[in-house]
Chain A
Amino acid sequence: MIQVRELRKSYGATIAVDGVSFDVGRGETFGLLGPNGAGKTTTINMLVGALAPDGGTILVNGAAKPTEAAARLAIGMAPQTLSLYEDLSAVENLTFFARLYRLSGARLKERVGWALALAGLVDRGKDRVKTFSGGMKRRLNLAVALVHDPQVLFLDEPTVGVDPQSRNHIFSRVEELKALGRTIIYTTHYMEEAQRLCDRVAIMDQGKILDLDGVDSLINRHGGRSVVKAELVRPLTDATQLPAPLDGLSLRFESERPLEEIARLSSGGVAFHTLEVARPDLETVFLTLTGRSLRD
C-alpha cells in the first residue's frame, strides 16, 4: 500500500529524516515510535505530501506519489495539532473538508452524519468548535480525517492531552477501522497504544529507523529478561536452590522463562506469600533502543 525508500529531509544543518525505508501493507496498522525530535512528524508530513522530501521515494497504492490527486483522495490525516476552524461548528468543519474531497449531495450528508457519530458529537454538531472540550476536539480532529472515507489513514499522536474516556473512544474507533481493512500509520508516545493497536512498529530516533518488526518480535529481540519479585512465607534452611540471594524474605531475580522457574521453586517446597512477574514491554524496547537520556 505504501512504499518508502531512502527518505531524507534536512533543515539547514539539521538532518530530520535520514534514509528511512519501510513498507506498509494493505490493511496493516503500522506504528512509528520515537522520542521528541526523532523525525516522526517530518516523516508523516512527507508521506502525506505536505512536505517535499530532499531525497528518496514514496509510493502510495503502488504507483501514485502522495502529491498526486489520486493519492490525496486515498489519504486521510489527523495532525498532531488540532487542525480545526474554531469559529465553525462541527458540521461546518466536516462539510467544508468533505467538499474539498469532492463529496456533494446525499453522499456528503451521509458521510458528515457518519463522521459526527464516529466522533460521538451528534448532539453537539451545530455547536462551534471553540466551545468543545479537548477530548471532543481531538475526536472531531479524527473524524475530519475520515469524513471522505480514505483507504490510508495517518494518525499523528491522536490521543495527546485527552481524558481516558475520549482516549478509549478513539482506540475503539481505530480498532473498528482496522477491522474494516483500512491501512493505518500511527505515531504515538504511548507505548501501550502501539502495543494494543499496531501490527508492526518502527522505532525511530535521530531521523533513522532503529528497528522495525512485530511487537512480540521486538520485545524478544530487545526487551531482555522478565523480572520476578516474590515475598516468601518463611525463611529457607537451604537457600542454594534459589536463583538469587534472599534479602530477608524478599526475592528478586531475572529469567528468560519466569513461569518455569517459579514452578521449579514451588515444587522444591518454596512457599510464596506474594509473587509478581514483570514481562518486558515495548517501553523497555523503546528505552533500550533510544536510551534513557532526556530529549528536549
Chain B
Amino acid sequence: MRTVLAMTVKDLRLMGRDWLGLFFIVGFPILMAVFFGAMYGSFDTGSASLRVAVVDEDESDMSRRFVESLTKSGNVEVEQLGRDEAVNRVRRGQLVGMIAVPRGFGESAGVPWLEGPAIQVGVDPARKAEAGLLEGLIMRSAGTLMIDRFQDPAAMRSLVRAARDELAQADDVSPDLKPLLLDMMDSLDVFMESWQRVERTEAEAGSNGEAAGDMPGFQLARIEAIDVTRQFAKDSTEALVRKLRSKWDISFPQAMIWGILACAAGFAISIVRERKQGTLLRLKVAPVTRAQVLAGKAMACFVAVMAVIALMVALGTWLGMRPQSPGLLAISAACIAFCFVGIMMLMSVIGRSEEAVSGAAWGANMLMAMFGGGMVPLVFMPSFMKTLSDFSPAKWSVLALEGSIWRGLTFGELLLPLAVLIAVGSVCLTIGTLVLSRATD
C-alpha cells in the first residue's frame, strides 16, 4: 500500500505542477460553471416581482404610506431613486418602470370627496403587460390610503370640518344639493367624533391589559385564490425546471464533467509519457508489481476526480447551490470517479505516443460531453439527443450529480445511473489494464 501511495502522491504532484493541465481540470470548469450559471440566471425563480423606481417628491406621511403599501403587496420591488436616475434606469431596461409621487400628494390622498392626487407613471414601452399590472397595484395602494385616513379620527374630523366650511361658502353648488351635502358632512363629523370617543375608551382599556381595536377596513372585493398550480409530466422539462432552486444547479454539474474528462485525459497521457520518458522502465526494474503501478495511477486519477467534484460543489455551495443530499452526492462522486478511472485506463492504450493518446482522448471527451450534457444541459436536450446521450458515460455522471443536487432522486432512483457508471468503469478498466499489461511486457 505504501508503494501505491507513493506513486499516487507522485502523480498528483506532477498533475499539480502542470499548469496548463491544471487549468483544464479546475480553471476551465469553474469559468464554465460561472459563465453558464450567469446565463441560466433567468431560471432563478426567486424574484418574480416587478422592479420599479419610486421618486417620492412629496416626502409626506401619506406618500411614505403609499410607497410602503406598494412594497407590502409583494408584487413590486421598489428602489427609491431621484427622478433623472429613475428615468435613465428604465430607459436602459434595468427597471420595468418608475412611479413619481409629486408634491401635494399627501394633501388629497385618501380623501374621498377631493379630486384624487396625481401619480406619474413611466413604463418601459416594451413591457406593456406589466404596465397594466403596475397601474392596478398603484390604484390598490392609493385606495389603502383612504382607510389610513379613517384610522386617525381627529385628523379626519378637521378635514371634514374644513370641507364643510368650504362647501357652505361655495356658490357653484346647486341649492338643492348643498343642504344634502352639508347634512352628509355633519353626519360624518358626528360619526368621526363618536369613533374618536370609542377609540379613546378602548385605548384606556388597552392600558389596563385589553387590546384597542382599529376601525374595520373595507374592500371593494375580496379576492380568494383558486389552486391553479400548473401540473407537468414528472420528467418533462417544465417539471424539472421547476425543481431548480438556484441558477448554479445546472451549470455546476455540467462544468464538473469537463473537469472529470480533463482528469481522465491527463492521467491517460501521463501513462504514455511514463513509457516514452523511460520512467516506466525504472518502475519495471524496481521491486514493484505491475498491479501496483496501475493501482497508483488509478488511485491518483480517482483522488483527482473526487477533488474536482468536491471543489466544484464547495464553490457552487458558496455561490448559492444547495445539494439536496450530500450523502447521495458523495456516493455519486465515488461511482463517477471509478467510471472515469476505467475510461482513463482505456484511453491510455488508444495510441503509443502522447500526441496520439491526447488527440484520441480529447476527441472521445468531446463526443462524451456533446451527447452527455457537457455542452447542452440534459434538461434542455431534444428527445433524439436524449436517446443518444444514453451511450455517453458523461450523461449518467451528470444525471447522478443532478439527481443528488437538485432533482431530488431517491437512492432507488439513482441506482440506474450509478450501476451504469460502475459497469462502464469495470469494463473499461478490465480492457485497459489487460492491454496496458501486454503493452508494457
Binding site for B on A (CB under 8 A): 45, 48-52, 69, 72-73, 75, 77, 79, 81-88, 92, 96-97, 99-102, 104, 128, 144
Contact = CB atoms under 8 A, between A and B. Distances in A.
A150 B10 CA distance: 23
Contacts of A84: 277, 279
Nearest to A69: B287
B2 interface: yes
Contacts of A50: 281, 284-285
Contacts of B3: 99-100
26 contacts: A45-B281, A50-B281, A50-B285, A73-B287, A77-B282, A79-B282, A81-B277, A82-B278, A83-B277, A83-B281, A85-B277, A86-B277, A87-B13, A88-B10, A88-B14, A88-B17, A96-B6, A96-B10, A97-B286, A99-B6, A100-B3, A100-B283, A100-B287, A102-B287, A104-B2, A128-B17
Given A85-B10, A88-B14, A100 B288 contact: yes
A88 B9 CA distance: 12
Contacts of A45: 281
Contacts of B10: 85, 88, 92, 96
Interface in B1-46: 2-3, 6, 10, 13-14, 17-18
A96 B293 CA distance: 13
B14 A72 contact: no
B227 interface: no
A81 B285 CA distance: 14
Given A72-B285, A85-B277, A100-B283, 12 more contacts: A50-B284, A52-B441, A72-B286, A72-B287, A77-B281, A81-B281, A83-B279, A84-B277, A87-B13, A87-B17, A88-B13, A100-B6
Given A99-B2, A99-B3, A99-B6, A85 B14 contact: yes
Q: Which of B13, B281, B283, B285 has the most CB of A within 10 A?
A: B285
Q: Which of B3, B279, B286 has the most CB of A within 10 A?
A: B286
A69 B285 CA distance: 10
Contacts of B441: 51-52
Contacts of B285: 48-50, 72, 75, 77
Interface of B: 2-3, 6, 10, 13-14, 17-18, 277-279, 281-288, 441
Contacts of A75: 285
A44 B284 CA distance: 13
A12 to B, nearest CB: 15
Q: Is the interface of B mostly helix, strand, loop or mixed?
A: helix
Contacts of B13: 87-88, 92
Contacts of B282: 77, 79, 83, 97, 144
Nearest to A51: B441
A87 B6 contact: no
Contacts of B14: 85, 87-88
Nearest to B10: A96
A102 B284 CA distance: 15
B377 to A, nearest CB: 36
A28 B282 CA distance: 23
B22 to A, nearest CB: 12
A96 B286 CA distance: 11
A128 B13 CA distance: 12
A50 B287 CA distance: 11
The 5 closest A-B pairs by CB, nearest first: A83-B278, A81-B278, A72-B287, A100-B286, A99-B6
Contacts of A88: 10, 13-14, 17
Contacts of A79: 278, 281-282
B284 A49 contact: yes
Contacts of A72: 285-287
A160 to B, nearest CB: 13
B7 to A, nearest CB: 8
Contacts of A86: 277
Nearest to B17: A87
Contacts of B17: 87-88, 128
B435 to A, nearest CB: 17
A87 B18 contact: yes
A52 B13 CA distance: 32
Nearest to A71: B287
A54 to B, nearest CB: 12
A97 B3 CA distance: 10
Contacts of B6: 96, 99-100
A52 B284 CA distance: 11
Contacts of A101: 286-287
Nearest to A130: B17
Contacts of A49: 284-285
A58 B13 CA distance: 37
Contacts of A144: 282
B57 to A, nearest CB: 68
Nearest to B279: A83
Nearest to A154: B285
A89 to B, nearest CB: 10
A88 B277 CA distance: 14
Q: Which of A85, A128, A144 has the most CB of B within 10 A?
A: A85
A73 B278 CA distance: 19
Contacts of B279: 83-85
Contacts of B2: 99, 104
Nearest to A102: B287
A144 B281 CA distance: 13
A99 to B, nearest CB: 4
Nearest to B280: A83
A124 to B, nearest CB: 17
A85 B280 CA distance: 11
A72 B283 CA distance: 11
A50 B278 CA distance: 11
A152 B277 CA distance: 23
A97 B288 CA distance: 11
A276 to B, nearest CB: 44
A84 B17 CA distance: 15
Contacts of B283: 100
B290 to A, nearest CB: 11
Contacts of A69: 287
Nearest to A49: B285
A165 B240 CA distance: 71
Nearest to B293: A100
Nearest to B9: A96
Contacts of A51: 441
A63 B141 CA distance: 100
Q: Which of B277, B278, B282, B287 has the most CB of A within 10 A?
A: B282
A81 B288 CA distance: 20
Q: Which of A49, A83, A84, A101 has the most CB of B within 10 A?
A: A83
